[in-house]
Structure 1
Amino acid sequence: MRILLALFLFLIPNFASAELHEVEMLNRNETGSMVYSPNFLRISSGDSVRFLATRPGHNAASIDCMIPDGATPFKGKINEEIEITFSIPGLYGIKCTPHFAMGMVMLIQVGPTPALPHNLPAELPSRARDRLLAYIAELSE
């Protein structure tokens, strides 16, 4: 019984320190159209992100070629509010599946600052690539 109590008390701080971050899926804001707000998050391992279906027609999905090794890809349904817990450190690319070609993307950095990519995967649509490069440039400043 004491072992269970000690284990429980040891794990409580880990659960209590995890944060929940919210990201809106929008048709337009001050930065442009078909956007996530914010377009970049820096979070700790174990934190969760809730993608809010603020406007209809959007979803949140990982970009398969832009997640850390060992991370599990995810894909929310259109108009679905989903919550994802990020436990593997690294840089995650996130897309809206129907608006990927229009550049609806964002970045989530989990844990310490990883080396930012200089080259992005060739299969990215040009608008998505341009936005991701702009976000990376902002982070590098």
Structure 2
Amino acid sequence: MTTWNLQETFCHFLICNGGSCMKRQAEEVTEAIRDEIILRGADRQIHTTRTRCNGRCSDACVVIAYPEGIWYKDITPELGRELVRRHAARSRLKERIVYSFEQRFVATGISVAGQDKQGRGLSWGEGECSS
């Protein structure tokens, strides 16, 4: 198994390849993001990982950027390329943010209420991560 040298990495994209995202071009999004990284010569600075379902199926296709913990929704191949360009410039694609983790869990103007791990519904403010 290969172990990547991540010493220069400052951004890690987790690209959802769950069922709903696959129906919304997740394969094409993954390829576009990886192609743009190569095109920009940023393969040592930006890393990608395909994931299974991230639990935000209504927001498909979902891409998560770490270390910021920014969750992006409705990503298309074109927006995937824009994500790479923005993050390479240390910026964000603000109009596509579902929610983000900064010093604590922060709402970005879009409701993200959902269910906790036990299947109970949450209203905003419950179950927040604290710093």
Report TM bin, short chain: under 0.3
Structure richer in strand, relative to its length: 1
Q: Which has the larger radius of gyration?
A: 1
User: When the two structures are superposed, what TM-score results if normalisation uses the length of structure 1?
Assistant: 0.24
User: When the two structures are superposed, what TM-score results if normalisation uses the length of structure 2?
Assistant: 0.25
